[in-house]
Amino acid sequence: MPILSQTLDGTDSSTSPNVAYRQLSSDSQGGPDLRGRASQLRELEEVPQGRHLGLFSTIVLFVSRIVGSGIFATSSGIYQDVGGSPFLFFLAWFLAAALSFSGLYVYLELGSLVPRSGGTKVFLEFIYEKPYMLACVVFLIYSIMFGFNMLNALVFGEYFLHSIGIKADEFHTRLTGLLCVYFAAAIHGISYSHGVRAQNIIGALKLLLLLIMVLTGLYLVLMPSSISHIHSNLHWDDFFKTKTPMTSSTFAGAIIKASFSFSGWNSAHTVSNEVKDPIRTFKIAGPVSLIIVTVAYMLTNLAYIVVIPHDEIVNSGQLIGSLLFEKVFGHKVGKQFLTLSVALCASGNIFVVLYTISRVSQEVFREGFLPCSNFMASNWPFGAPLPTLVLSCTLTTLVILAPKGDLYNYIIALEGYPNQVFLGLTAFGIFIIRKRSPELRAPIRASLMGTVFLLLITLYLTISPFTSSKSPNPKGLENWPSYAVVAILCLGVCVSYWIVMFRLLPYVFGYRLTSKEVELSDGLIVKKWVKTYGDIPVDLDFID
């Protein structure tokens, strides 16, 4: 009996009966087919690793993914972007927090409809069926292109060396960060269970550091200077004033940087297949984690403004967190112990980012349209995604050895810009789903106001870099191409790949692309693409 495979134009063709395939129907009219696909996709898919992430592990995953280098390294850049205005500084952080909460509930709704690993990739694929594979290919190739872990590596290297009293140059800072990335990748690649245990332990330390941050902020706000012995640099008469020029494009850059500090609220959905009772777990873990992080961030930023003078904030760079701890707790406790704790936080973020990146990259290669897909999607050789971890380490090494300059803030903006585009498309998908199938009610629903707010903010962030003649790039890189332009060019490369593989080559050589699903030796299901000339299928050998 022939097995059905899905073709590029949505029709069916017969393929070899010795390959298992689960077909998802494709109907250009939407409505009933959307309900049918949601019903099929809602059946929980099992993976070789099993479901090993409970409520606590998921909260740790959220918090560990969110709290990394951001709050300890981006505040100085955000403060410069808003012209030194405390009001605009806190407004940028507030909008980033609101954006994260709005996005979280959009993802919770979609994740309750499609509880599958892959996160944004699965949601875009579910929403935007036409043109076939376009949304999936663009997002996934973008994910591979930006599948590096440079930012946390830089912060780890800088804070770790600073905590042990070594005044290292840029090369040694980057080398230290790379060694941490390699160490984390080795643990995750050899045993997924040991990797999860390591990030859980470091995640617990992060929760302790968050508590210290909250208590520090409260102490500085509530205690008079006669007790704290710290002179406040926050004055209401200049709370709304800017000290240096700013534009709407630089304010947008500030929001993107602050959003980077919250990034990670959407990462847990990339490993839904490994979460126990994912709908209930995400419903609790997501909001709880964001509330914890938001309170800690606001109080920490308040402490920055109160304790550190304007000029020192501007010149502190990525070491603003260390500067705060040193001023409040002194040299030994502040500069050494707490700065080392920040380095551990960054290392914990490296663990979690590698964990999620490897799963996302694995989902990319499971789609089968990139070279060496079967090997890269496999859990070879230790039952963990070592091939995708090696890929991430390779990309991290290449990027981290880039030319000198404020590469940290530039990469944040460059990586964040396409994320805003995908986030906006995902939010708009909520309205598409509700219009197509109003009777399809998700177990978790995003609010109308929050979704509209998310769309407006993402629209502002994607347009604003082009509204000013002044470069939106960070200081020292003004002569580089705008991060928005580079990001759009990267997305253009992704679209071009889809055009060539799924439109141009089939049209020129007269074949149809047919996908079938095969099971690897470790039990993982991957796609394989076949060129069909008439009724004769030919495997795409270059992808094997």
46-50, 86-90, 288-292, 430-434: least confident range? 46-50
Neighbours of 168 (CB within 10 A): 16
Distance CA 70, CA 100 (A): 14
Reduced to 3 states (helix: H, G, I; strand: E, B; else coil), residue 194 is: helix
State pLDDT tens for residues 176-225.
999 999 998 888 888 767 777 777 787 777 778 778 877 887 888 788 77
Distance CA 419, CA 434 (A): 23
Does pLDDT of 89 surpass 90? yes
Does pLDDT of 59 surpass 70? yes
Reduced to 3 states (helix: H, G, I; strand: E, B; else coil), residue 518 is: strand
- Pairing verdict, β 12-15 and 525-533: unpaired
Domain 49-467: CATH architecture, name and number where available:
Up-down Bundle (1.20)
Cα distance from N-terminal residue to C-terminal residue, the chain? 25
Distance CA 214, CA 406 (A): 29
Cis bond before residue 371 (omega within 30° of 0): no
Q: Pick the closest to residue 388 from 140, 144, 52, 61 (CA basis).
A: 144
pLDDT at 510: 87
> What does the mean pLDDT of the chain come to?
79
What does the domain layout of the chain look like in residue ranges?
49-467
Does pLDDT of 65 surpass 60? yes
Q: Specify the DSSP class assigned to residue 534.
A: T
pLDDT at 404: 60
Q: What are phi and psi of 522, to 5 degrees?
A: -90, 5
Cα-Cα-Cα-Cα dihedral sign, residues 401, 406, 410, 411 = positive
Does pLDDT of 317 surpass 60? yes
Does pLDDT of 334 surpass 50? yes
Cis bond before residue 385 (omega within 30° of 0): no
Reduced to 3 states (helix: H, G, I; strand: E, B; else coil), residue 334 is: helix
Q: 169 vs 95, 161, 165, 477, CA distance in Å?
A: 35, 10, 13, 20
- Give the CA-trace dihedral at 415, 493, 542, 26, to 10 degrees: 90
Q: 47 vs 112, 441, 519, 523, 540, CA distance in Å?
A: 18, 27, 11, 8, 26
State pLDDT tens for residues 164-179.
888 777 788 888 999 9
Confidence of residue 149 (pLDDT cuts 50, 70, 90): confident
Distance CA 267, CA 318 (A): 24
Distance CA 227, CA 206 (A): 28
Contact call for residues 473 and 462 (beta carbons, < 8 A): no
Reduced to 3 states (helix: H, G, I; strand: E, B; else coil), residue 458 is: helix
CB-based burial label for 392 (10 Å; 0-12, 13-18, 19+):
buried
State pLDDT tens for residues 371-427.
888 888 888 787 778 888 999 899 888 888 766 656 777 887 888 888 888 989 999
Contact call for residues 143 and 494 (beta carbons, < 8 A): no
**Which helix (H) or strand (E) is 538 found in, with range?**
strand 536-539
State pLDDT tens for residues 462-519.
888 888 777 777 777 778 888 889 999 999 999 999 999 999 999 898 888 888 888 8
Distance CA 500, CA 507 (A): 10
Q: What is the 3-state secondary structure (H, E, C) of 112-149?
A: HHCCCCCCHHHHHHHHCCCCCCHHHHHHHHHHHHCCCC
Q: 279 vs 35, 99, 222, CA distance in Å?
A: 18, 21, 40
Confidence of residue 360 (pLDDT cuts 50, 70, 90): confident
CB-based burial label for 404 (10 Å; 0-12, 13-18, 19+):
exposed
Q: Pick the closest to residue 142 from 492, 505, 465 (CA basis).
A: 492
Q: 211 vs 207, 214, 284, 293, 299, CA distance in Å?
A: 6, 5, 20, 10, 11
